Amino acid sequence: MFWQGEYECMDRGELELLQLERLQATLNRVARNVPLYRKRFAELGIDPYDVQSLEDVKSLPFTTKEDLRQHYPYGLFAVPLRDVVRMQTSTGTTGKPTVVGYTSGDVRRWSELAARILTAGGITKDDAVQIAYNYGLFTGAFGIHSGAELIGASVIPSSSGDARRQISIMQDYRTTALVCTPSYALHLADTLEEMNINKTALSLRFGLFGSEPWTEETRLEIETRLGIQATDNYGLSEITAVAGECLERTGLHINEDHFLPEIVNPLTGEVLPPGQKGELVLTTLTKEAFPLVRFRTGDLTALIETPCTCGRTLRRMTRIPGRSDDMLIIRGSNVFPAQIEGVIATTGIHNPHYQIVLDRVGHMDRATIMLEAPESFCTDSIKESQRILENVRIRLHTELGVAFEVRLVEPKTITYEAQGRIIDRRKM
Ligand code: ZN
């Protein structure tokens, strides 16, 4: 089953012609409307009209997350604000988020791409799709939501939150498909057991999981415990719905007619030969409001060149095993240590000495910050220390969307030499 078979199963030669045509249009648009690209192209002596083949993309400059941060909020928009119908934010490498704008055409294409991913994962108009992503933080929730509506499925936007309530909704509404992070799916499986409900009492058939790295073992566990077929999908808040698995589950089909993928050496930026693992770099081919040229995703993967038995000709990428930078994924939210440090500093604790400890309790991530008490801190009253700690906790939750436990430890007790700044005890 395909959603847009004419594109998903396109002849490779035709697809490449379409990609080139769209690439040229994108380059012209950014050179005309986005000062950063105009400047960079001029510096490198690049004329968008000189790009005559897909190979030529190699000569173009990269766009980094740092570029996005520096042009906050609207510096990289390629259309005037009056043409933007939606804005969503994503967390960047520091406290400052990235604002991503969408024209009505962007929103329509995004829905189509999400509909492709849902269809590839087995969803039809007969399904009741429960979306248990946090709508406030996840760009992904909105994409899947509109994609499922486009297919004609019944959407249940249960959002994140109380697991028992999710199970009740699943039972009462006879949910057939679950969309959430893989760790949350396992947490729901635990809750099901706690509630003494057999999986056969549910109507679940499919699960579409994303937003955090997971393994084949986890897939098997989710499938067995929830009695479903589980597929992986991949998207980026800066870009939208990039790729998704079909039911063959041998890699994620990239929506190549909308995004041009490259794999580069994360250290040198050099393009790697086909099949080799490296950092995924994406150029958007159809985005109007927020086009990106050679965006460094920070995600490590490889492109699979062999055809898939499902009939799609879109190339696949291997599942994302990890990031090329120091980003942490905590309960599906992206967090950088630098952000944590930045937030702590705003509470009046300068140059904080801290360690981040990540555990998995049941199937949920637990994030604890061990904060070394500054000298001045200890002499203050306990009440005052508690107030400051509570302030740190609230600020972290508000700014990063992650509930951290914050603990105070004696001065000079944290040594980074042994374990580093981050202790991740979660088993994937
Ligand atoms: Zn396939």
Whether residue 318 sits in one domain with residue 376: no
Identify which has the larger pLDDT, 306 or 426. Answer: 306
- How confident is residue 47, by pLDDT bands cut at 50, 70 and 90? very high
Whole-number Å distance, alpha carbon 330 to ligand 1 midpoint, is 30
Q: What is the pLDDT of residue 233?
A: 96
pLDDT over 90, % of the chain:
62
Identify which has the larger pLDDT, 155 or 97. Answer: 155
Whole-number Å distance, alpha carbon 14 to ligand 1 midpoint, is 19
The answer to whether the beta carbons of residues 156 and 129 sit under 8 Å apart is yes
Identify which has the larger pLDDT, 30 or 92. Answer: 30
Integer Cα distance of 333 and 181 in angstroms: 10
pLDDT at 309 over 90: yes
Whole-number Å distance, alpha carbon 309 to ligand 1 midpoint, is 6
Residue 200 CB neighbours (<10 A):
8
CATH code of residue 147: 3.40.50.12780
Q: What is the pLDDT of residue 93?
A: 44
Q: What is the pLDDT of residue 152?
A: 98
- How confident is residue 378, by pLDDT bands cut at 50, 70 and 90? low
Q: How many domains does the chain have?
A: 2
Whether residue 60 sits in one domain with residue 81: yes
**Mean pLDDT on 176-195:** 92
Whether residue 291 sits in one domain with residue 193: yes
Last residue of a domain, which of 302, 325, 348?
Answer: 325
Whole-number Å distance, alpha carbon 106 to ligand 1 midpoint, is 25
Identify which has the larger pLDDT, 291 or 321. Answer: 291
Whether residue 352 sits in one domain with residue 221: no
**Mean pLDDT on 366-387:** 77
pLDDT over 70, % of the chain:
92
pLDDT at 342 over 80: no
**Mean pLDDT on 307-327:** 83
The b/e string for 379-407 (b: 16+ C-beta within 10 A; e otherwise) is eeeeeeeeebbebbbebbeebbbbebebe
Whole-number Å distance, alpha carbon 226 to ligand 1 midpoint, is 23
Q: Which of 144-153, 264-273, 396-405 has the highest mean pLDDT?
A: 144-153
- What Cα–Cα distance (Å) separates residue 196 from each residue in 122, 164, 165, 189, 201? 28, 11, 14, 11, 11
Please report which residue ranges of 152-291 form alpha helices under DSSP H. 163-172, 182-194, 216-226
**Mean pLDDT on 57-67:** 94
pLDDT at 294 over 80: yes
Whole-number Å distance, alpha carbon 302 to ligand 1 midpoint, is 16
Whole-number Å distance, alpha carbon 383 to ligand 1 midpoint, is 59
The answer to whether the beta carbons of residues 220 and 227 sit under 8 Å apart is no
What pTM was computed for the model? 0.80
Whole-number Å distance, alpha carbon 310 to ligand 1 midpoint, is 4
Last residue of a domain, which of 325, 358, 377?
Answer: 325
Whether residue 342 sits in one domain with residue 235: no
**Mean pLDDT on 12-25:** 98
Q: What is the pLDDT of residue 418?
A: 54
Whether residue 349 sits in one domain with residue 317: no
Q: How many CA atoms lie within 13 A of 205 on its CB side?
A: 12
Whole-number Å distance, alpha carbon 179 to ligand 1 midpoint, is 20
Whole-number Å distance, alpha carbon 303 to ligand 1 midpoint, is 13
Q: What is the pLDDT of residue 91?
A: 57
Q: What is the pLDDT of residue 145?
A: 96
Whether residue 365 sits in one domain with residue 313: no
Whether residue 357 sits in one domain with residue 253: no
Whole-number Å distance, alpha carbon 38 to ligand 1 midpoint, is 38
Integer Cα distance of 350 and 390 in angstroms: 17
Last residue of a domain, which of 293, 325, 357?
Answer: 325
Whole-number Å distance, alpha carbon 271 to ligand 1 midpoint, is 25
Whole-number Å distance, alpha carbon 257 to ligand 1 midpoint, is 16
Whole-number Å distance, alpha carbon 215 to ligand 1 midpoint, is 19
pLDDT at 175 over 60: yes
First-to-last C-alpha distance (Å) of the chain? 31
Whole-number Å distance, alpha carbon 246 to ligand 1 midpoint, is 5
**Mean pLDDT on 14-24:** 98
Whole-number Å distance, alpha carbon 8 to ligand 1 midpoint, is 10
pLDDT at 377 over 80: no
The answer to whether the beta carbons of residues 31 and 40 sit under 8 Å apart is no
pLDDT at 322 over 60: no
* Arithmetic mean of pLDDT over the chain: 89
pLDDT tens by residue, 81-127: 999 999 988 754 445 678 999 999 999 999 999 999 999 999 999 99
Whole-number Å distance, alpha carbon 93 to ligand 1 midpoint, is 34
Which domain does 334 fall in, by range?
Answer: 330-424
pLDDT tens by residue, 216-256: 888 999 999 999 999 999 999 899 999 999 999 999 999 99
Whether residue 321 sits in one domain with residue 386: no
Whole-number Å distance, alpha carbon 322 to ligand 1 midpoint, is 23
Q: 49-58, long-range: CB within 8 Å, 24+ apart, which pairs?
A: 49/24, 51/23, 51/24, 51/27, 53/20, 54/16, 54/19, 54/20, 54/23, 54/260, 57/23, 57/260, 57/262, 57/283, 57/294, 58/262, 58/271
Whether residue 367 sits in one domain with residue 321: no
Whole-number Å distance, alpha carbon 249 to ligand 1 midpoint, is 7
Whether residue 412 sits in one domain with residue 388: yes
Whole-number Å distance, alpha carbon 317 to ligand 1 midpoint, is 11
Whole-number Å distance, alpha carbon 308 to ligand 1 midpoint, is 5
Q: How many CA atoms lie within 13 A of 210 on its CB side?
A: 29
CATH code of residue 413: 3.30.300.30
Whether residue 95 sits in one domain with residue 184: yes
Q: Which residue, 109, 183, 164, 196, is CA-closest to 333?
A: 183
Whole-number Å distance, alpha carbon 216 to ligand 1 midpoint, is 17
Whole-number Å distance, alpha carbon 384 to ligand 1 midpoint, is 58
Q: Which of 10-14, 160-164, 381-385 has the highest mean pLDDT?
A: 10-14
pLDDT at 327 over 50: yes
Whole-number Å distance, alpha carbon 117 to ligand 1 midpoint, is 11
- What Cα–Cα distance (Å) separates residue 259 from each residue in 20, 66, 287? 11, 21, 9
